[in-house]
Amino acid sequence: MIIKGSVERVVFRNAENGYSVLIISDSIISITAVGIVPPISEGEIVELEGDMITNSKYGEQLKIKSAKICLPNSLDSMTKYLSSGLFKGIGEVTAESIVKEFGEQTFDIIEKNPARLVKAKGMSATKAMSLHEAFIELKDMQNTMVGLQKLDISLNLALKIYKIYGNSTLNILNDNPYKLVEDVDGVGFVTADRIAQEIGIKPDSEFRVRAGIVYCLKQAAANNGHTYLPKAELMSIVLKLLCLNIEENESLFDNVLDVLEIGGIVVILQNDSKAIVMFNRYYLLERKISERLISLNNSQTQLHTDIRADISEFETINNIKMHDNQILAIENAVRYGVNVITGGPGTGKTTIIKCILFIFRKLNLNTRLCAPTGRASKRLAEACGEEAKTIHRLLDLNFKNGKGYFTYSENTTLDADVIIVDEVSMCDEYVFSALLGAIKHGGRLIMVGDKDQLPSVGAGNILGDIIAFNKLPVSYLTYIYRQEHQSMIVENAHRINNGEMPVIKNADSDFLYSNIKGQEAIAETVVDMVSRRIPNYMNVDPYDIQVLCPLKKGVSGVNNLNVILQNAINPQASYKKEIKMGEHVYRQFDKVIHIVNNYDLEWTRGDEIGVGVFNGDIGKIIDVNENEGKLVVEFEDERVAVYTRDIFDQLLLAYSISVHKSQGSEFDIVVIVLMGGSYTLMTKNLLYTAVTRAKKMSVIVGDDKHLYSMVHNNYTAKRYTLLTQMLEEEFERQHIE
């Protein structure tokens, strides 16, 4: 549907994302139009394309898909436009005097001969030039937005692009639309390639090959955790993506790669006699991590204490007896500057941390606890009875000049003698590097984690690479502490990790299994369990039950389960506000998860103000303002953040989440969905990770053949990283010096 008319009133406009509510009138009717548009003012003539929808609160509205803006053509509308607030210093009186003086030529004078504007009452030469510049800038922006829409780019994405390139947008895209891949979040290769084809860029353009290389390296990091790719493998992936023959285009690929290296985008190295290609930022991160770890390990000072006597005192106070490998872990933590403690559930990691804290407190050492996620830090604090923070909060993430930054760094180190990091396997390279940089010379670092869990969602393999280095103390906890009421979750987690089928005792057990065949039946069973059976049996809120899936797609995958669980747990109601964005419905009281690291998103917690919301943070939508295009989310640690439409895509429903997204988190009750999938994905360590997320109850729903297959699937995806090799090199270098 296309509607053309004048803008009678701008009811609301969000300057950040362009979401607007407009009253549009033609000669017959007035309608309300809502959507993302360029800056529009009262008096302008607009041509809107969209669909008529019925809002439960506001009635019929036009949901805008595209907008074309024309300058007002009547004297009254000209006056209204100039005094709309778009032009600083031009009020209604001044606008009237300008239009009265120049009539229908007003806009032409403003654009081409602004010096004449001083003839109008109230206009100075300075004000005239200011109006001219603002008018030109606005016109350029509107023309840019129209041009982007012609390239079939959504208004939301168009605004993102314009924020980066400004009035140069169309020129840049005409020259090289592939820059979008490098510069604009949310633009993939397919979008840039489509635009390039429309403007006639050749398939073997160097611009196209460059974009393909950057895109494939990004995808390798995001989807597979690689910090580099072998050059031959990268070339094969890129040229296949571009539909170019390898033999005919190898030299073209090499030439473009050389340009990227000269420009500091990538580094080309030799590893095991093979050329590899690595983003420069990952090279610098892994180099920094290796330098700091070896330096910290070399800078330790001998602590004067009888460790065995301290341990015995701790055992007496707490009426416990520790295993030999626990004692060894504690001794290593006290003796060495850097060490790793790794073990599965029930192996006593918490007890070890408590004992380490006890000894360091006796030595008057300032010890800080931290973890990569809010859930993990909260769990650590509860288990140890000590304050624990996220790494971001420990480093004091702040906001300045439009960017997030850490207060504590190499220049301002933490006032701490010992840093203990739990769930270190979840750390990405950026955050781990920042933490290492903030530890003072002579400080100690104790890393705690489970080597058998999935590696971090982000690129890199911090825990695995440090263990593989084999020159830093690593304590392996293998003894499982059995208690009077032994948890079957713990027992079965270890059985799965050892390649053994779990023991199923559905009666009075915290580990349940429902053998269901077929995706539709699995989905129905999961919804019934989460919405009715488990809440009634355990007397819990459905919001406290977390569904974990190995796959996103499919009837029993994350995406579909979220839709049907939303309808079952938080159905549509007249008193609940909601916003639809694409295929997603965001409804008041929905459980949601933040899926990227946003270091710039502001939040409040009472009187406290901070920045930074991170991948895996789970919360609830507490308010929705459709007209303003805003969602208000309260996270589990009581932080409250406001989301505008341009960042809605950073939120997903969280009734069901992927196993990878659950890393570092614990939930009272977990429902695990088993389904068929790729051999490389449906692995033993994925199932092990899922089971170990549960504190009080773990429920598996699925086909027993898939359970058997996963338990016996030892496949571990290789991550291409250089950290182990760099640690070796740095170890040799520092010991030679």
How wide is the angle at C-alpha 263 spanned by C-alphas 261 and 266, nearest 5°? 40
In this prediction, residue 530 carries a pLDDT of 97
CA gap 286, 722 in Å, rounded: 7
Q: Which of 222, 207, 227, 236 is nearest to 269 (CA)?
A: 227
Any idea which of 28-42, 456-470, 605-619, 700-714 has the lowest mean pLDDT? Answer: 28-42
Q: Which of 661, 570, 568 is nearest to 624 (CA)?
A: 570
Is-contact 646 675, C-beta < 8 A?
Answer: no
CA gap 687, 707 in Å, rounded: 9
Flag whether pLDDT at 16 surpasses 70. Answer: no
CA gap 151, 297 in Å, rounded: 55
CA gap 64, 56 in Å, rounded: 18
For residue 672, how far is the Cα from the chain centroid?
23
The predicted-structure confidence for 721-737, as pLDDT tens digits, reads as follows 999 999 999 999 887 65
Q: Which residue has the tokens 């095991």?
A: 272
The predicted-structure confidence for 199-218, as pLDDT tens digits, reads as follows 888 999 999 999 999 999 99
The predicted-structure confidence for 305-346, as pLDDT tens digits, reads as follows 999 999 999 999 999 999 999 999 999 999 999 999 999 988
Q: Containing H/E element for 12?
A: strand 2-13
The predicted-structure confidence for 548-599, as pLDDT tens digits, reads as follows 999 999 999 999 999 999 999 999 998 999 988 777 899 999 999 998 888 8
CA gap 238, 277 in Å, rounded: 13
Residues 6+ apart with CB under 8 A from 18: 36, 37, 38, 39, 155, 156, 159, 646
Q: What is the percentage of the chain residues whose pLDDT exceeds 90? A: 58
Q: Where are the beta strands (DSSP E) in 304-454?
A: 338-343, 367-371, 388-390, 397-400, 403-406, 418-421, 444-449
The whole-model pTM stands at 0.81
Flag whether pLDDT at 283 surpasses 60. Answer: yes
How wide is the angle at C-alpha 717 spanned by C-alphas 713 and 722, nearest 5°? 150
Mean per-residue pLDDT over the chain, rounded: 90
Is-contact 613 374, C-beta < 8 A?
Answer: no
Flag whether pLDDT at 438 surpasses 90. Answer: yes
